[in-house]
Amino acid sequence: MTYLLQQFLNALQVGSIYALIALGYTLVYGILTMINFAHGDLFMIGAFCCFLSVAFLGLPFLPTLLLSMCGVALLGVLIERFAYRPLRQAPRVSAIITALGVGLFLENFTLALSPYPQQIPPLLDNRMWTLFGVSLSSLQIFIIVLSLLLMFLLDLLVRRTMVGMAMRAISWDKTVAPLMGVPVNAVISLTFAVGTGLGGAAGVLYGLAYPVIDPYMGVMVGWKAFISAVVGGIGNIRGAMIGGYILGAVEIMVVAFFPSTYRDFVAFVLLLVLLIFRPQGILGKPQQQKV
Amino acid sequence: MKRYLLLLVGVVAVLVSGACSKGGSSAIKVGVIAELTGDMPAVGESCKKAAQLAVKQANDAGGIEVAGKKFPLELFIEDNAGKADQSAAAAQKLITQQKVHAIVGPNATRYALPASEIAESSKVVLITPWSTNPKTTLDARSNAPKKHVFRACFIDPFQGRVLAKFALETLRARKAAVLFDVASEYNKGIAEIFRETFEQTGGKIVAFETYTTNDKDFSGQMTKIKNAAPDVIFLPNYYSEIPLQIQQAKRLGITVPFVGSDSWGSQELLKLCGDACEGYYFSTNYAADAATPAATKFIEDFKGAYGSVPDDVAALTYDSFGLLAQALKTAKQLERGAIRDALARIPLYEGVTGNMQFREGSGDPVKSAVIVKITGGKFKYFATANP
């Protein structure tokens, strides 16, 4: 029982990070129906911002988090402005290729600065407790709570504010929204800022939990977060959160009860099966064919 | 008429230049394939530095004498970007374009394997400094030793046995757990030999867990290992992953000692680990603080050139060049085949990482291993294990 609880906690931590990154994919898809494949690498940039802020500026946690989020958000907005916006009317494939290219650029740019893995110095005091035989670390709880808080804030933003309403309007119909006075480009930029900013926050939290970072760290995590978003129903915000936790739980539980070599194999077979029965994802709406 | 004259001049020029390039080279060309970028840049960097030092020293001494004539060394360094396909491409480029006489590197087994296939089929000597997997020097189909592939380090079965005995006898462990990268040849090979030896010698493997390259979260596996209550945990993984594995284990309340293999032996490990790796052990080819006169001289030279203590990759790369130099001195001529024959017949080479010679018809040297303990943020010599 304690074993199961411990593994459950592990799953929550991994799932929180997948969910935060998955939100970035889903927000952008929701508003542009485009998959921003550079998002995993923006997440990596977030971790490197955290490293620079801690190692060179010596900032404490909160300024580091804000700085990394703003830095990555700014980068996200610039990428949208200069790489994606000119292609908005182009075939969808061109936009996807551009996104992949931007991702590769970010990886190799970081690689050119330093190919060495870097260690993020400890930012927070890590305390450990044992509760009914389950080891709790303050870091783990902090990561889970902060991720949930960020997701809650995003949910508020999208559902309860004017900006959120504008985002939903564009997502609903991109041609009619501007006729109703919605400033499309500004809202799209803002959506990019929010989505990539969350990716940056995920990078910081990831860097706290796994403090050895390298330029390729965003590739696999990015793919897994993308899959989380698809499983939850891409374009749906609550779906992305659920998808992240599901993928985290499946991965950890496969390791817990099967030989760990089967982890990715079993996890992805389960996801394939899920998609066969619900191709639109858990919370996604079935796509209507336009004639 | 004028036109014919011009043509004649052209033909003569081509003939002369062709004859010149054919008439033997004026330098000994050595290619190096190193992991300069990718997931283990510290390894590539050490390899490159040691190679440049070895070449500079040889050239400062007037070059190497082959069959009565002195030749300078010419170095060609290729980056394999930490990729298997680029390792093979680099070997191909060195052999066909640069026309090197011999290749040193790549270091990690997963890159050395593809490069060694190219070298073997092109009949060019390849010495890998650091690849300890037995497969590197064996033909995949016949399992017979490759004729042109050599190494300067010991092999994993030896290392796995040394570590299993160390865990049983010195650490008095009865139950061991293993966590390794199942996608990497080196890690998998050594983990399996450790398990075999540990169980044969009376121990019990209580957990045998895996992950894949680039994973950062090991909490699921470590929780499972904790649940199995081992006396020791064996991590035959690369230096960039060890800090995360040990930190996560400690966060789950695991307190038993960790033991590792020679892939731990980079100074980067100490930087990335902080004090999390304090007091743990690994086996390697050489310990900088228990050095022989040959090693002391190399360490001083290396420090003089680069201002840092050389790690095992640097020492083994330097020894690869040492082996090559000794072979060149006894080679009948400066030619790929003659170099290979001379290298295979080296009677005894006294290197920085100890004495070595090649087994009859094999590219694997006979040499001893050392166990290093991480003490006070440094690698400290702990014990020697002889073959």
Is there a contact between A206 and B216 if contact means CB atoms under 8 Å apart? yes
Closest CA–CA distance from residue B272 to any residue of chain A (Å): 5
- Among the partner-chain residues B215, B243, B268, the one whose CB lies closest to the CB of A116 is B268
Closest CA–CA distance from residue B83 to any residue of chain A (Å): 13
- State how far the Cα of B143 lies from the Cα of B105, in Å rounded to an integer: 21
Is there a contact between B240 and A252 if contact means CB atoms under 8 Å apart? no
- State how far the Cα of B377 lies from the Cα of B276, in Å rounded to an integer: 10
- State how far the Cα of B127 lies from the Cα of B305, in Å rounded to an integer: 24
- State how far the Cα of A138 lies from the Cα of A126, in Å rounded to an integer: 6
Determine if residue A7 is left, alpha or beta; phi over 0 gives left, psi from -120 to 50 gives alpha, anything else beta.
Answer: alpha
- State how far the Cα of A41 lies from the Cα of A110, in Å rounded to an integer: 10
Closest CA–CA distance from residue A221 to any residue of chain B (Å): 9
Q: Which residues contact B232 (CB under 8 A, 6 or more apart)?
A: B167, B171, B173, B175, B176, B177, B256, B257, B258, B259
Q: CB-based burial of residue A270 (10 Å sphere; 0-12 exposed, 13-18 middle, 19+ buried)?
A: middle
- Among the partner-chain residues A140, A217, A256, the one whose CB lies closest to the CB of B216 is A217
Domains of chain B: 28-154+290-367 (3.40.50.2300), 157-284 (3.40.50.2300)
Is there a contact between A255 and B221 if contact means CB atoms under 8 Å apart? yes
Is there a contact between B244 and A210 if contact means CB atoms under 8 Å apart? yes
B251 interface with A at CB cutoff 8 Å: yes
What's the N-to-C CA distance of chain A in angstroms?
54
- Per CB-CB distance under 8 Å, the chain A contacts of B268 are 116-117
Q: Using only C-alpha atoms, what is the Rg of chain A?
A: 19
- Per CB-CB distance under 8 Å, the chain A contacts of B226 are 6
B204 interface with A at CB cutoff 8 Å: no
**To probe the interface with A, which of B223, B242, B270, B308 has the most A CB atoms within 10 Å?**
B223
Is there a contact between B223 and A7 if contact means CB atoms under 8 Å apart? yes
Q: What is the pLDDT of residue A267?
A: 81
- Among the partner-chain residues B211, B214, B253, the one whose CB lies closest to the CB of A260 is B211
Q: What is the pLDDT of residue B22?
A: 42
**To probe the interface with A, which of B37, B45, B212, B219 has the most A CB atoms within 10 Å?**
B219
Distances, alpha carbon A26 to alpha carbons A85, A185, A282, B17, B361, in Å: 18, 18, 13, 64, 60
- Strand segments (E) across B153-218: 175-181, 204-211
Is there a contact between B244 and A212 if contact means CB atoms under 8 Å apart? yes
Is there a contact between B224 and A260 if contact means CB atoms under 8 Å apart? yes
- Give the residue from chain A lying closest to B209, CA to CA: A260
B377 interface with A at CB cutoff 8 Å: no
A173 interface with B at CB cutoff 8 Å: no
- Do the strands A128-131 and A134-137 form a parallel or antiparallel pair, or are they unpaired? antiparallel
- Per CB-CB distance under 8 Å, the chain B contacts of A252 are 219-220
- Among the partner-chain residues B39, B215, B223, the one whose CB lies closest to the CB of A10 is B223
A142 interface with B at CB cutoff 8 Å: no
Task: Read off φ and ψ for residue B240, nearest 5 degrees.
Answer: -75, -15
> Per-residue confidence of chain A (291 residues) as pLDDT tens digits?
889 999 999 999 999 999 999 999 999 998 888 899 999 999 999 999 999 999 999 999 999 999 999 999 999 999 999 999 999 888 888 988 999 999 999 999 998 888 888 999 888 888 888 888 888 888 899 999 999 999 999 999 999 999 999 999 998 888 888 888 899 999 999 999 999 999 999 999 999 999 999 999 999 999 999 999 999 998 899 999 999 999 999 999 999 998 888 888 888 888 889 889 988 888 887 766 555
- Long-range CB contact pairs, A170-177, < 8 A, 24+: A170/A31, A171/A30, A171/A31, A171/A235
Hey, what amino acid is at A110? Answer: T
Task: Read off φ and ψ for residue B332, nearest 5 degrees.
Answer: -75, -30
Q: What is the pLDDT of residue A33?
A: 86
Q: What is the pLDDT of residue B5?
A: 57
Closest CA–CA distance from residue A271 to any residue of chain B (Å): 19
Beta carbons of B87 and B75 less than 8 angstroms apart: no
Task: Read off φ and ψ for residue B191, nearest 5 degrees.
Answer: -65, -40
Q: What is the pLDDT of residue B20?
A: 43
Closest CA–CA distance from residue B362 to any residue of chain A (Å): 34
Q: What is the pLDDT of residue B23?
A: 43
Is there a contact between A115 and B210 if contact means CB atoms under 8 Å apart? no
Closest CA–CA distance from residue B278 to any residue of chain A (Å): 17
Prediction pTM value: 0.82
pLDDT digits (tens, 9 = 90+) for A65-79: 999 999 999 999 999
B213 interface with A at CB cutoff 8 Å: no
> Per-residue confidence of chain B (387 residues) as pLDDT tens digits?
555 655 555 555 554 444 444 445 789 999 999 999 888 899 999 999 999 999 999 999 999 999 889 999 999 999 999 999 999 999 999 999 999 999 999 999 999 999 999 999 999 999 999 998 888 999 988 889 999 999 999 998 899 999 999 999 999 999 999 999 999 888 998 999 999 999 999 999 999 999 998 899 999 999 999 999 999 999 999 999 999 999 999 989 899 999 999 999 888 899 898 888 999 999 998 888 877 888 899 999 999 999 999 999 999 999 999 999 999 999 989 999 999 999 999 989 999 998 888 887 899 999 889 999 999 989 999 998 887
Paired with B152 in beta bridges are: none
Q: What is the pLDDT of residue B104?
A: 97
Q: What is the pLDDT of residue B19?
A: 44
**To probe the interface with B, which of A129, A210, A213 has the most B CB atoms within 10 Å?**
A210
Closest CA–CA distance from residue A136 to any residue of chain B (Å): 7
Q: CB-based burial of residue B359 (10 Å sphere; 0-12 exposed, 13-18 middle, 19+ buried)?
A: exposed
The H or E element that residue B151 is part of is strand B149-151
Which residues in chain A (213-232) have CB-CB distances under 8 A to chain B?
Answer: 214, 216-217, 219-221
- Among the partner-chain residues B42, B182, B247, the one whose CB lies closest to the CB of A116 is B42
- Give the residue from chain B lying closest to A4, CA to CA: B223
Distances, alpha carbon B224 to alpha carbons A265, B206, B220, in Å: 19, 10, 6
Q: How many CB atoms lie within 10 A of CB A269?
A: 13
